[in-house]
Amino acid sequence: MKLVLASKNEKKLKELRDILSAQGVEVVSEADVGVDVEVEETGTTFAENAYLKAHAVMEAAGLPAVADDSGLCVDALNGAPGVYSARYGGPDLDDAGRYRLLLENMRGQLDRRCKFVSAICCCFPDGTKVEAQGECAGTLAYAPRGTDGFGYDPIFFLPELKKTFAQLTAEEKNAISHRGKALAAFREKLKDKI
């Protein structure tokens, strides 16, 4: 089965390929199928945004499309940045700028509990969809550590491993991450469609 990833994020494409290839699922980019879709993420939940992206790319490509919407939810900030994780601080910030802003906004805050959330949605041309969600709890580090991963990975600390996501190998991260958990659930549900 071929799924088009509704994202231009190369690191996300690699993660999805790594996790879904074992099931015989080929994940291709929008560019691979000749589409370039920009979707306004107007949903109020990760699941709504994942659906908006997957549905738009499925319609443009005429092929099943899968989307992930994910982000970091910080307890002390009432769940922020949440669905706005990729846009936190405005369009002029890159990943490092966003996590530095978050660390600045958390200065002096003792409650550092947070979680990553991932919602996966796959829309099919026959009108059906497959959805799954995963979460990974952790704490915010006080400073970035590690060079792997992307987004908020350098400041997402796992107390039980004493490492941030950015200090884990891809295999370690995929085994415990929010996206890895969501994709494992998605993989199970996808068996009915293969």
What would the pLDDT profile of 76-122 be if each residue is shown by its tens digit?
A: 999 999 999 999 999 999 999 999 999 999 999 999 999 999 999 99
Cβ contacts of residue 139 below 8 Å, gap of 6+? 112, 113, 114, 157, 159
The pLDDT score that the predictor gives to residue 19 is 79
32, burial (CB in 10 Å: exposed 0-12, middle 13-18, buried 19+): middle
Whole-model pTM: value is 0.90
Query: How many CA atoms within 13 Å lie on the side-chain side of 138?
Result: 28
As given in the structure block, the two tokens for residue 107 are 């200065």
Ordered structural domains, the chain, with CATH: 2-190 (3.90.950.10)
Beta bridge partners of 134: 118
Kindly list the strands in the beta sheet with 2-5, ordered across the sheet, starting from the edge strand earlier in the chain: 26-28, 2-5, 65-74, 113-123, 129-140, 156-158, 163-164
Q: Is 109 helix (H, G, I), strand (E, B) or coil?
A: coil
The catalytic position among 18, 36, 68, 69 is 69
Q: What is the pLDDT of residues 137-190, one digit of tens each?
A: 999 999 999 998 889 999 999 999 999 999 999 889 988 999 889 988 998 898
**105 and 114 in contact (C-beta within 8 Å)?**
no
**pLDDT top residue among 34 and 21:** 34
194 pLDDT above the threshold of 80: no
Is 69 among the catalytic positions?
yes
